[in-house]
Chain A
Amino acid sequence: MLLSLPALHLQTSEYHPLLQLSHGRLGPWCSPTSSPAPLSREPGCGEGSWILVCRLLVPTQVSLLSMEEDIDTRKINNSFLRDHSYATEADIISTVEFNHTGELLATGDKGGRVVIFQREQESKNQVHRRGEYNVYSTFQSHEPEFDYLKSLEIEEKINKIRWLPQQNAAYFLLSTNDKTVKLWKVSERDKRPEGYNLKDEEGRLRDPATITTLRVPVLRPMDLMVEATPRRVFANAHTYHINSISVNSDYETYMSADDLRINLWNFEITNQSFNIVDIKPANMEELTEVITAAEFHPHHCNTFVYSSSKGTIRLCDMRASALCDRHTKFFEEPEDPSNRSFFSEIISSISDVKFSHSGRYIMTRDYLTVKVWDLNMENRPIETYQVHDYLRSKLCSLYENDCIFDKFECVWNGSDSVIMTGSYNNFFRMFDRNTKRDVTLEASRENSKPRAILKPRKVCVGGKRRKDEISVDSLDFSKKILHTAWHPSENIIAVAATNNLYIFQDKVN
């Protein structure tokens, strides 16, 4: 069990210990080059050229505790962090999410921790540093729990994080594990009162006899301190595992979805939630389908969608009835008879569903494809993109090693013109909806020099393998990119690969 972490005392100076791997001084992979690399638009790039901005390691417990130590020990510990063997399973990133302005980037990991990164402020002398993200706050969101009634351990892994839009100086986010959703408030303190009359600088009481003058205490700037406090805990509403949370556009409610039910919550009320979808059959024997993902419409607070393990999407309107068991729209593509196999259902299971920013489209991810649907057309998607079709002939092996059950997420860019999703071998793919071009990139230590342009990758299916191509059989299926995020307005993306968080930026940006 991880220790609970105190509020971090961050320094804004250059000498931030350990956690800021993005500093040029500490990490070679981020040191700026002397002159910017020339722009290159390779054919078929899809979206220009991408460069690595920084690679951030989710800090291990060791590194955090050593924050108080002196510089020499810090240097030693710095090398600790770069060594992968110290990364534990608890550090595996399980969710990534930008906030609504893109200023903050939150990650959740298997150990129940949330780490928030903040974008480096732009400054004239250090233009190249803009776009880097540094650790802003870290806190333990969920702890492992034990359900005594069922004799089950409840994992502390953070399944999803969703930000609330900012309404005051503080930031709010929802984080959830399998059973419990929590609302966290992240706030800054950068001033402290100074100049007390009765207390001295250290806080010790002064002898009143020694006081000859009176002064008014003033607020003076102090080193930035970021605190995270749990404001609400929404528990005991889910029997099955929560797979999604979604904040409603009214900013007053949100929903949480598990395998069989979806509940609607009000942020202010933690002891009650409304059940709005229930697909549990009266006889569990008849269970053939589960809910896999759910999301509210970005603008219509009465509309939401949820996807199923059978490859269907249902759009529901909460105005129609209290229990939205009957959908308003039902999206399903008829099965392609030529592709039929024993695994047809498994590969059709939708692992993620996302509304476009415009609210006109939804995107779904199943095992081999990403599909874009028009809300007004239910019988088939308007666009289908093959993520890694070369796996179609390997489905049996992937079934055997359970990779076929991997749940990949998908994201839209800010203008809904490009979609991105992950694959194996630390590859991730981008599809430009307008130009119909696509690109495969890799998020890995070996191939990423700081600020160097990412080279597009290609998988060779059969026959002769060209020099830079990788054959299907050489793919590493243990290196999967399940979680990615795209900045809401700029071409900055975050890609999670086990315990590494890669941040890439479009060179054109």
Chain B
Amino acid sequence: MLSKGLKRKREEEEEQQEEEALAVDTWWLDSDHPAVAPAPQAVASSSLFDLSVLKLHHSLRQSEPDLRHLVLVVNTLRRIQASMVPTAVLPPVPSLPAAPGMADNLLASSDAALSASMASLLEDLSHIEGLSQAPQPLAEEGPQGRPVGGAPPSLGSLDLLDPATGCLLDDGLEGLFEDIDTSMYDSDLWAPASEGLKPGPEGGPGEEDASELKETELDYLMDVLVGTQTLERPPGPGR
């Protein structure tokens, strides 16, 4: 599959690591293999989970994600997740012990983070297309223009994923979004998962301010492009 706007080297790196990671796990794919015990099944599910997460990020990082691919990967991820939660068993990871309660939290938060990231990108697409919509409130910002999942920073939920494929997951959730200039996006969606992912602007400016906001946004974008402004939180009304 061809993708645009990706850093080539990183892509190759990831693919290599992906292959390495899966070389170990592919034995179970052989239909002739003798019946497997439940434990390897969980391992298989989790490696599939890792793979799907990797694919999702790969897809999200593209400048214009293939919507069909994205939707199918996300749906598959949800299926895998649904099958994993009842077992509450995470793959044996050397660095961290997995407890059932923590597993649920981590899965839930990673799902939230993924939903957030996917939603944000899809929202971004719709934002640009829907000129009649009220503009996204750039004023509503979290403490940082960074995603904060429900998980504590020391345990970035995606840190737990297979270390072999962890090149982009090493810095936890924040590492995911290195390539994306999130400050230009609707940072409202980076708020903690518990706040929910609201469909539209909350307490945002009224319709009458819509055009003003758009102009401010455009100005800001222009400035960034021209380089007169460093990337920081965009100016918004009420700030």
Question: What residues make up the interface of A, taking CB atoms closer than 8 Å to B?
Answer: 149-153, 239-241, 259-260, 280, 282-285, 287-290, 292, 309, 342-343, 345-346, 349, 393-394, 396-397, 399-400, 402, 405, 462
Q: Using Cβ atoms and an 8 Å threshold, which residues of chain B touch A462?
A: 32
How far does the Cβ of B216 sit from chain A's closest Cβ, in whole Å? 16
User: Is B18 an interface position by the 8 A CB rule?
Assistant: yes
Give the docked Cα–Cα distance between A215 and B212 (Å): 72
Give the docked Cα–Cα distance between A260 and B1 (Å): 21
User: Is B79 an interface position by the 8 A CB rule?
Assistant: yes
Interface contacts beyond A150-B63, A405-B1: sample of 6 additional A-B pairs, CB < 8 Å, sorted by A: A240-B67, A240-B125, A280-B126, A283-B197, A309-B68, A396-B29
Given A152-B63, A345-B79, A349-B68: A285 in contact with B48 (beta carbons within 8 A): no
Give the docked Cα–Cα distance between A393 and B33 (Å): 11
- Chain A residue nearest to B79 in the complex (CB): A342
Tell me if A153 and B63 are in contact (CB < 8 A).
yes
Give the docked Cα–Cα distance between A150 and B65 (Å): 12
Q: Using Cβ atoms and an 8 Å threshold, which residues of chain A touch B72?
A: 309, 345-346, 349, 405
Give the docked Cα–Cα distance between A289 and B75 (Å): 9
How far does the Cβ of B215 sit from chain A's closest Cβ, in whole Å? 14
Give the docked Cα–Cα distance between A396 and B45 (Å): 11
User: Is B108 an interface position by the 8 A CB rule?
Assistant: no
How far does the Cβ of B109 sit from chain A's closest Cβ, in whole Å? 16
Given A345-B79, A393-B29, A394-B29: A152 in contact with B67 (beta carbons within 8 A): no
How far does the Cβ of A341 sit from chain B's closest Cβ, in whole Å? 9
Q: List 5 A-B contacts (CB under 8 A).
A: A152-B63, A290-B68, A342-B83, A394-B29, A405-B69
Interface of A is mostly: loop
Bitwise, B197-219 to A at CB < 8 A (1) or not (0) is 10100000000000000000000
Tell me if A343 and B75 are in contact (CB < 8 A).
no
Tell me if A342 and B118 are in contact (CB < 8 A).
no
Tell me if A283 and B199 are in contact (CB < 8 A).
yes
Give the docked Cα–Cα distance between A452 and B47 (Å): 48
Q: Using Cβ atoms and an 8 Å threshold, which residues of chain B touch A152?
A: 4-5, 63-64
- Chain A residue nearest to B78 in the complex (CB): A288
Give the docked Cα–Cα distance between A152 and B128 (Å): 12
How far does the Cβ of A94 sit from chain B's closest Cβ, in whole Å? 12
Give the docked Cα–Cα distance between A265 and B221 (Å): 34
User: Is B98 an interface position by the 8 A CB rule?
Assistant: no
Q: Using Cβ atoms and an 8 Å threshold, which residues of chain A touch B68?
A: 259, 290, 292, 309, 349, 405
Give the docked Cα–Cα distance between A402 and B52 (Å): 11
Q: Using Cβ atoms and an 8 Å threshold, which residues of chain A touch B29?
A: 393-394, 396-397
**Other-chain contact of B26, A149, A259, A396 (Cβ < 8 Å):** A396
Given A151-B63, A345-B76: A285 in contact with B1 (beta carbons within 8 A): no
Tell me if B48 and A393 are in contact (CB < 8 A).
no
User: Is B6 an interface position by the 8 A CB rule?
Assistant: no
User: Is B51 an interface position by the 8 A CB rule?
Assistant: yes
Please provide the 8 A-B residue pairs with the shortest distance between their CB atoms, ordered closest to farther. Answer: A284-B122, A393-B31, A283-B199, A285-B119, A239-B129, A259-B67, A152-B64, A396-B29
Tell me if A288 and B75 are in contact (CB < 8 A).
yes
Give the docked Cα–Cα distance between A47 and B68 (Å): 35
Given A284-B123, A345-B76, A394-B29: A150 in contact with B71 (beta carbons within 8 A): no
Bitwise, B151-187 to A at CB < 8 A (1) or not (0) is 0000000000000000000000000000000000000
For window 20-34 of B, CB contacts with A under 8 Å fall at 22, 26, 29-32
Q: Using Cβ atoms and an 8 Å threshold, which residues of chain B touch A402?
A: 1, 55
Given A149-B128, A284-B126, A405-B72: A260 in contact with B67 (beta carbons within 8 A): yes
User: Is B115 an interface position by the 8 A CB rule?
Assistant: yes
- Chain A residue nearest to B19 in the complex (CB): A400
Tell me if B18 and A400 are in contact (CB < 8 A).
yes
Given A396-B29, A399-B51: A289 in contact with B128 (beta carbons within 8 A): no
